[in-house]
Chain A
Amino acid sequence: MIELAHVSKRFGSEIAVNDISLRIPKGKFCALVGTSGCGKSTTLRMINRLIAHSEGEIILDGASIETYDPVKLRRRIGYVIQHTGLFPHWSVARNIGLVPRLLKWPSIDVQARVEELMQLLGLPVEEFGHKYPHQLSGGQAQRVGVARALAANPDIMLMDEPFGALDPITREKLQDELAKLQARMHKTIVFVTHDMDEALKLADHLVVMRDGRIVQQGSPLALLKHPADPFVESLLGGLERGLKQAALTRVKDHMNSLGSALPAQSRIPADFSLRQALSMMLRDHSDRLTVVDQHDVPVGELSLRKIVKEAHLDKGNSRE
């Protein structure tokens, strides 16, 4: 668990982070969102003591981070940055094995762990192990960056705009993979991004920052439903908000049981989002969809009227 209590950071007379308080329970994914210069990156770097905070307290697993040796603290926190920060003179395998080697793991264990992680992140060892960072594409390099951060199996991961420099397709692919990894590993993740869609897609807990202060925090759905002020609303996409909310809601939470009426032609899997359902209705000129399970067996029915009517109800964000 990470807890920030009234934390501030001054650079000379300038105040970069202003009295923020934040609790990130174990195993949760917290995204810090805001425009550039809002202090989100500074906040992240205060957690692993790359920047010392000026006021307040940062507590990690019950103890103030100032009681830890900074080097040991950083070794138990995974750290991923935008431009990967891979060492250009080391091979991929050596880069990934860095922290375990710093922790003096036996070399056999290091090697096994490196191979395991490369497997996990879709980088075959035979093909990539001996390659150097400059021989990798942006997406591959950032996979290595993530693998390096995961190497010593830390409970906490700090990610500073990890996908910011990637093209949209690669970015989306890596986001999906991160979501899958997180569903399996339940790390405590602090994720900095300026991309609200990325934050909505990945986070359990969303923190919107502006000028060093927290403007609003809460679950993605809560923010979408009740943005605190016009700034948060504009970050959330203004008029697009409804669709973004729909993207976070599963079809199965809004479907009716199969009625006696003839089932609709268009079929949608139950774990798709309402946004995808709406898109399908528009495409197929239909206000009804048949909901199917993973074996393509009809299990329910979705109607446009019901979705619209229930839009304000708090019915199931699958990540809550």
Chain B
Amino acid sequence: MSLRDALPTPRIHRDGLNPNAVLISLSIVMLAAFWTLDMVSMAPNRIVLGTGYSAPAAFGWPGALLATLLFCAISFLAWQPSQRHYQALLAAVVMLMALMPFGLIVSSFLLIEPELAQARLGLGAGYWVTLFILLLCLVELRLRLNLTRLWPTLLLSGIALVWWLCATLWLDSLALVQEFKARDQLFLRAVGQHMTLVGIAVSVSIVLGLALALLMRRYARLQKVAFTVLNFLQTIPSIALFGLLLAPLAWLAVNVPFLAKLGVSGIGTTPALIALIAYSLLPMVRNTYTALEEVSPVTLEAAKGMGMRASQRFWQVRLPLALPVLLEGVRITTVQAIGLTAVAALIGAGGLGTFIFQGLGQAAMDMVLLGALPILMLALVVDAGLGALAEALRPGGAR
């Protein structure tokens, strides 16, 4: 064996040549889904079950071939992924996502007869799978290109804007759009209710959580009790908790007129808020407590040695240093509350969950989507926003 062979091959070189298995398999799955699953479905009215259409029928042969070409390009670029190839891949993925609503416009022209005013276009399994896999590609590319959180958020916002424009301008026949148009006022009110419920629940649990965490730091015994209770609350299924609150609150409303005046009743906003706050407290308290405890004792000792009073040490040192972890708790709590609030619709608290449960009752999947998609969007936006804020508040802007 010559010396040259004995030396290890430089890793960077090899990395550049290794095919990116993740992207290649994703693009193959996408291709398979595109050609085998139904891309859209068309129903002459809301009641009738739609008929599915495969890609060539839905987008026409040119559209189907264009998409296939882009999928193949992803496979091809991922075979020898250099930095530039990754950038090209990102462009291809973003382009596919932005082109998807135009595919729907094409199918509405191809599939819907102008005289069928009630006809509606539904999204097929293949369409959802493709969208989901494109999102996975985006995640992989973000990691490979070492992008910050902000970039995908911006790109997705841009794509969402394209989708929204297409939906309002040309996609009247899309079932989702029709469901929205039938109840746009209701929809906006539901979004408002949803956000109000989440906002109140999260703000109350921030205040309560901070107070509890501070008390726990002062009285060590409280810590075990409080965490046991909060952990227990977290294990109750949410629907059960809403149900369990029904009886005692209804009783209170009947027997204590003052509380009834305040709006307390067995169903509606009050029990929903109580349950939401009960669920939000655990992540809030746990994060706040750890955040405050984790501040370096050396730094705090120095603060004391410099002659800072206890209150100065708390407000100027402990709290600011705990803030990023604390905000992480707010983020987790809020995202969780946005999801849970959907269930609150069951006890008449309103919010986007209303559409989900109505849609489920009427077997109208597009109405379920009308409730579920905005919840997903809200959660993503809050997640990205608070995550970025926590990042920005890291001590000294970095670390």
Contacts and interface: CB of A to CB of B under 8 A. Distances in A.
- Real complex partners, A and B? yes
6 contacts: A81-B305, A84-B302, A89-B395, A102-B306, A132-B396, A134-B399
Nearest to A89: B395
A89 B321 contact: yes
B184 interface: no
Contacts of B399: 88, 134
Interface in A68-87: 71-75, 79, 81, 83-87
A50 B304 contact: yes
Interface stretch (B86-94, B96-104, B307-315, B359-367): B307-315
A269 interface: no
A84 B296 CA distance: 12
Minimum-distance CB pairs A-B, first 9: A85-B302, A132-B396, A75-B307, A74-B307, A89-B395, A88-B395, A79-B305, A83-B298, A89-B320
Contacts of A89: 320-321, 395-396
A87 to B, nearest CB: 6
A65 to B, nearest CB: 13
Contacts of B309: 71
Contacts of B396: 88-89, 91, 132-135
Interface in B378-395: 395
With most chain B CB atoms within 10 A of its CB, the pick from A71, A72, A133, A158 is A71
A50 B305 CA distance: 7
Contacts of B301: 50, 81, 85
A143 interface: no
Contacts of A85: 298-299, 301-303, 305
Interface residues of A, number: 26
Interface in A18-57: 48, 50
Contacts of A205: none
Interface in B298-355: 298-299, 301-309, 312, 317, 320-321
A102 B305 contact: no
B299 A72 contact: no
Q: Interface centre among A79, A87, A133, by most B CB within 10 Å?
A: A87
A114 to B, nearest CB: 15
A236 interface: no
A206 to B, nearest CB: 24
B302 A79 contact: yes
A153 to B, nearest CB: 14
B47 interface: no
Interface string B179-190: 000000000000
| Best-buried of A81, A86, A88 by chain B (most CB within 10 Å) | A88
B10 interface: no
A79 B308 CA distance: 12
Contacts of B312: 102
Interface string B10-45: 000000000000000000000000000000000000
B303 to A, nearest CB: 7
Interface in A219-234: none
Contacts of B7: none
A79 B305 CA distance: 6
B395 A74 contact: no
B8 interface: no
Contacts of B398: 132, 134
Contacts of A87: 299, 302-303, 317, 321
Contacts of B62: none
A107 B308 CA distance: 18
Contacts of A48: 305
Contacts of B298: 81, 83, 85
Q: Which of B299, B304, B306, B395 has the most CB of A within 10 A?
A: B306
A72 B309 CA distance: 10
Q: Which of B301, B305, B320 has the most CB of A within 10 A?
A: B305
Nearest to B300: A85
Interface in A171-206: none
B397 interface: yes
B302 A86 contact: yes
Given A48-B305, A87-B321, A98-B306, 9 more contacts: A50-B304, A71-B309, A79-B305, A81-B305, A85-B303, A88-B399, A102-B306, A134-B395, A134-B396
